[in-house]
């Protein structure tokens, strides 16, 4: 980096304009932020902010979360205005951030992944609809190429999916499967604690206590369930709780997880549950669905069978700071 530039540890204020300019000039999908939104995301306690300036004005910045109890830090953003690129500014900010996070805070690694508590909202390409959280870094972006050139490794990837819901109907081919399930005594319906049993225990079977915590705390919201009526209304699959939230210019149908009991997998139940959720959201004002899942997660075939289309590939990158690469 030339002597013309200076990098300092600063607060995040006065950087919103740079952020909004950068996401436009780089053709990224991140949504422009208001000053208040920017402060809520980038000004949180536990954030490291570095600002690069040319002596007169700020020309770029880096934001990262300080490490958690496991020694994991999260890189949220790094960018430099186009007219100041080619001077090694971004690399210099990364050098400084990596040293601070390791030497001052004991970070063992830096991740770019959806676990980051700083959620960057983004706009789905080809639409004005939005998603509340970027699950990584856009794979073919300049920043991703810079980071991978510095030794950050892609250890996973997320595929973001999108489906308009203003006018929704189930794919025709799913009707025969639904009828076959009904003949086995398996119904796709709304969860009713007076009629159905085993929702709490289902989360032991699918090994996701985090989903259980969220779902059981929101039983006042609709939950689409697959129920084995031949076993006294046993819940064998679910998705929910269901809500509709404004994101971008549209209304997003939201949910927390989807799962089927291992003993009932391979019957197409998850796809039926997902379609039941889409019907509910469409009927209650949602104009679209957006979600993401791991590139190798079989759940993606459920979403694709229901009509979701892949929208963006996001890379999850990792840099080991303790000399060992761990997953």
Show the domain range for 83.
Answer: 6-158+316-320
pLDDT confidence of residue 201: 97
Considering all CA atoms of the chain, what is the largest pairwise distance in Å, rounded to the nearest integer? 76
Locate the DSSP E strands across the chain. Answer: 6-9, 47-53, 58-65, 72-80, 109-112, 122-123, 130-131, 137-138, 153-164, 186-190, 224-228, 234-239, 243-247, 250-254, 258-260, 288-294, 309-320
CA distances from 201 to 28, 82, 207, 230, 303 (A): 42, 54, 10, 18, 25
pLDDT confidence of residue 327: 46
Taking residue 265's Cβ as centre, other Cβ atoms within 10 Å add up to 15
Task: Provide mean pLDDT across the span 30-43.
Answer: 95
pLDDT confidence of residue 24: 83
Among 220, 223, 296, 294, CA closest to 256: 223
> Is the Cβ–Cβ distance between 64 and 112 less than 8 Å?
no
**138 and 212 together in one domain:** no
**268 and 140 together in one domain:** no
Q: Residue 108 falls within a domain, yes or no? A: yes
Three-state secondary structure string covering 120-174: CCEECCCCCEEECCCCCEECCCHHHHHHHHCCCEEEEEEEEEEEECCCCCCCCCH
Which helix (H) or strand (E) element contains residue 89?
helix 89-99
pLDDT confidence of residue 326: 44
Task: Provide mean pLDDT across the span 116-142.
Answer: 94
pTM of the full structure:
0.89
How far from the centroid of its chain's Cα atoms is residue 207's Cα? 20
**191 and 136 together in one domain:** no
**42 and 143 together in one domain:** yes
Mean pLDDT for all residues in the chain: 93
Total domains present in the chain: 2
pLDDT confidence of residue 324: 57
Taking residue 314's Cβ as centre, other Cβ atoms within 10 Å add up to 26
Q: Residue 262 falls within a domain, yes or no? A: yes
Q: Residue 47 falls within a domain, yes or no? A: yes
Q: How does pLDDT run across 226-275, given as a tens digit for each residue?
A: 999 999 999 999 999 999 999 989 999 999 999 999 999 999 999 999 99
Q: What distance in Å separates the CA atoms of residue 163 and residue 274, rounded to the nearest whole number?
A: 12
| Degrees to nearest 5, angle at CA 298 with 127 and 242 | 55
Among 262, 276, 177, CA closest to 226: 276
> Is the Cβ–Cβ distance between 35 and 79 less than 8 Å?
no
94 pLDDT band, cuts 50/70/90, is very high
Q: How does pLDDT run across 202-232, given as a tens digit for each residue?
A: 999 999 999 999 999 999 999 999 999 999 9
CATH of the domain at 21: 3.40.630.30
pLDDT confidence of residue 71: 97
pLDDT confidence of residue 166: 87
Residue 170 has pLDDT above 90, yes or no: no
Q: How does pLDDT run across 145-169, given as a tens digit for each residue?
A: 999 999 999 999 999 999 999 888 8
pLDDT confidence of residue 247: 93
């Amino acid at each position: 980096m030339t002597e013309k530039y200076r990098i300092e540890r600063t607060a995040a204020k006065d950087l919103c304009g740079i952020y909004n300019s950068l996401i436009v000039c780089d053709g990224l999908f991140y949504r422009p932020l208001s000053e208040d939104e920017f402060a809520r995301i980038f000004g949180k306690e536990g954030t490291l902010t570095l600002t690069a300036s040319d002596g007169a004005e700020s020309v770029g910045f880096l934001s990262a979360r300080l490490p958690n109890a496991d020694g994991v830090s999260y890189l949220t953003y790094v960018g430099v205005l186009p007219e100041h690129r080619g001077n090694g500014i971004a690399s210099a900010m990364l050098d400084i951030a990596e040293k601070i996070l390791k030497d001052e805070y004991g970070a063992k690694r830096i991740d770019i992944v959806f676990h980051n508590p700083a959620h960057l909202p983004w706009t789905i390409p080809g639409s004005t609809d939005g998603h509340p959280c970027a699950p990584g870094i856009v794979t073919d972006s300049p920043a991703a190429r810079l980071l991978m050139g510095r030794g950050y490794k892609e250890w996973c990837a997320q595929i973001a999916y999108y489906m308009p819901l203003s006018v929704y109907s189930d794919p025709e081919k799913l009707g025969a499967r639904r009828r076959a399930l009904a003949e086995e005594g398996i119904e796709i319906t709304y969860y009713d604690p007076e009629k159905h049993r085993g929702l709490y225990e289902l989360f032991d079977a699918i090994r996701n206590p985090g989903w259980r915590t969220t779902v059981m705390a929101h039983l006042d919201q609709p939950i689409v369930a697959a129920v084995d009526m031949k076993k006294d209304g046993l819940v064998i699959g679910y998705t929910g709780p269901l809500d509709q939230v404004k994101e971008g210019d549209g209304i997003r149908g939201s949910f927390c997880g989807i799962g089927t009991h291992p003993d009932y997998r391979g019957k197409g139940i998850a796809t039926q549950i997902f379609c039941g959720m889409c019907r509910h959201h469409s009927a209650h004002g949602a104009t679209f669905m957006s979600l993401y899942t791991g590139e190798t997660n079989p759940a993606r075939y459920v979403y694709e069978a229901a009509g979701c289309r892949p929208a963006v590939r996001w890379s999850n990158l990792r840099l080991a700071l303790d000399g060992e690469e761990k997953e």
